[in-house]
Structure 1
Amino acid sequence: MNQSDYSYGSLPNDIALKIAYSLEVPDLSSLSCCSRVWREICGSDCLWESLVKERWSLLYETVKDPNFKDWRGFYVKQHEEKKAQAASVVNVVEHCSQSESLEILDYLQAIECLKTMHFGFKDVQMLLLRPRLNVLLNLIGLNYCLNILQVPHLSLQAVHIVEALRNSKIADRQVFVQWWKPGRWFYGFRIRNDSFRCVSLEDLAVEKDEEVLAVLEPETTHELLTTVQISVVNSTSNLQASQSSP
């Protein structure tokens, strides 16, 4: 055993594992290159199973098996698959939103795709909460965290969402949401109530505008509303809509 292996190996296994557990995946991979001992510790199944569970909790529940081995290989494979899947969602949404607006059915379909792909919070953070992407894609990622992953407002993970928005410099990005829902009956006709709002991603993350949040919830849009339009702020379409509304 060389000097490097001796010094690293002198740590008790439980302490070495605690150090490994505290690291992000890129740092974990770097540490595994330091010595044979660290390579064995950083490649342990219990560590990578924990990382899979943390990142893909929905997927983990469907595949967990006490006899399963090679959780590290499973993690790497899933990471590459999620990158490819996110690219397909981005392409579809950007094609649908070439006019800087997104129909509600396309919006809901994108969220459903992420659910089918078992995206976790880190996937959304790395692949959708990015400044170079259309703000509508940022919104889809945020809404997925709040409604599908069911991250409760004011929880520690909700704080992480706000931090992710700020670190990516997209917290202040705004979307224009316009909706029409059935109003009261008047002489046999149903009067529509028109509403619209400009709201930032951070305001949605901290639940500052509950009405818009309710409008964007998948169940609400299906059951209660007739039409919802989501647009990039300052686009021609939402400017004209706001000017024509009473």
Structure 2
Amino acid sequence: MKQLEFTQSSLPEDIALKIASSLEVNDLCALGSCSRYWSELCGSDCIWESLTRQRWPFLDTVLDPTFKGWRGFYIEQHNEMVGRAATVVKFVKECSLSGSLEVGVHLKAIEALGSMQLGFQDVQMLLFKPKHNVLLNLVGLHYCINCLNVPAGCIVKALQSCKISDSQVCVKWWKLGRWFHGFRMRDESHSRCVSLADLAMAKEEEVLRVLHRGAIHEVLRVQISTPGFTSTPWFTQGTERLC
């Protein structure tokens, strides 16, 4: 152990710091558990300040007298974001017990994420999980596109990294029937099954427009589900509220 400590501490500090600074949080923590030398170096304020500002670039970090270092601040902020995201996760799960989600609920969830100021890395860590229902993945994806304005390439890379890029959602919407020679035609229904990656790359612009606008004007209802779900008649639509 003493020989190992000597070997690691003999590494030039600037090189060791550069190595540690290039790591993701999980890998940085794992490296810090290797020895006392790496533990002290991986806990450096300069590393954790950089990680904090990368993850939450718009966060107003007002440091008070009780500030105990950037690592502690990062952990505290992370735990707060986990709690915030859990509220949205619970809301979406409760509203999609039947296997589908109304667009009003979908948009309320996205609005809630915006008010909670979740960043792109928060979405990757907390909403792009393969264990989550694809409807939750879609909420995170739509939030990244419309609220965070994340470039499509970055979103696709994140989806691939989380192994959910090929996951599919089915979006169905009902439109008011058009008038023809004084008579109103039957209401129209449209349906698309698309992958999250295709949505991120805007390959289905009509679906994105429908999701963004929701049930307004000529669109009577928009329902989001997993492929194979049997929809209910549009007139059974209810209203949901995010507590």
Where does residue 206 of structure 1 map in the other structure? 201
The one-letter code of the counterpart of 1:132 is K
Deviation at residue 158 of structure 1 after TM alignment: 3.0
Query: CA separation of 1:181/1:152 partners in 2, compared to 1, >3 Å: closer, same or farther?
Result: farther
The sequence identity of aligned pairs, in percent, is 52
Deviation at residue 211 of structure 1 after TM alignment: 1.2
SS in 2 for 1:177: strand
Where does residue 172 of structure 1 map in the other structure? 166
Deviation per CA, 1:43-88: give whole Å up to 9, x if none.
1111111111222223x3x2266x9761111111122222222222
SS in 1 for 2:198: helix
Deviation at residue 205 of structure 1 after TM alignment: 2.0
Tell me if structure 2 keeps the 8 A contact 1:179–1:194: yes
1:162 lines up with 2:174 in the alignment: no
SS in 2 for 1:94: helix
Partners of 1:191 and 1:152 in 2: CA distance: 40
Tell me if structure 2 keeps the 8 A contact 1:45–1:69: no
The one-letter code of the counterpart of 1:162 is L
Partners of 1:19 and 1:113 in 2: CA distance: 37
Where does residue 61 of structure 2 map in the other structure? 63
Query: CA separation of 1:39/1:149 partners in 2, compared to 1, >3 Å: closer, same or farther?
Result: same
Instruction: Tell me which protein shows more helix as a share of its residues.
Output: 1
Where does residue 227 of structure 2 map in the other structure? 233
SS in 1 for 2:129: coil
Where does residue 215 of structure 1 map in the other structure? 210
Partners of 1:172 and 1:93 in 2: CA distance: 21
The one-letter code of the counterpart of 1:63 is T
Deviation per CA, 1:16-64: give whole Å up to 9, x if none.
1110011121221122233333222211111111111222223x3x226
Partners of 1:75 and 1:222 in 2: CA distance: 39
Tell me if structure 1 keeps the 8 A contact 2:215–2:221: no
SS in 2 for 1:236: coil
Partners of 1:127 and 1:162 in 2: CA distance: 12
Output aligned runs, 1:96-245, within 5 Å.
Answer: 96-153=95-152, 155=153, 157-164=154-161, 167-168=162-163, 170-180=164-174, 194-217=189-212, 220-221=213-214, 225-237=219-231
Give ranges in structure 2 of 5+ residues lacking alignment: 235-243
Query: CA separation of 1:106/1:160 partners in 2, compared to 1, >3 Å: closer, same or farther?
Result: same
SS in 2 for 1:234: coil
Partners of 2:32 and 2:46 in 1: CA distance: 15
Deviation per CA, 1:107-128: give whole Å up to 9, x if none.
1111122222222223222322
Query: CA separation of 1:188/1:17 partners in 2, compared to 1, >3 Å: closer, same or farther?
Result: farther
Tell me if structure 1 keeps the 8 A contact 2:215–2:222: no
Output aligned runs, 1:8-19, within 5 Å.
Answer: 8-19=8-19
Partners of 1:33 and 1:48 in 2: CA distance: 16
SS in 2 for 1:27: helix
SS in 2 for 1:149: coil
Deviates more, 1:122-131 or 1:203-212: 122-131
| Larger RCO, structures 1/2 (Cα 8 Å, 6+ apart) | 2
Give ranges in structure 1 of 5+ residues lacking alignment: 242-246
Tell me if structure 1 keeps the 8 A contact 2:103–2:215: no
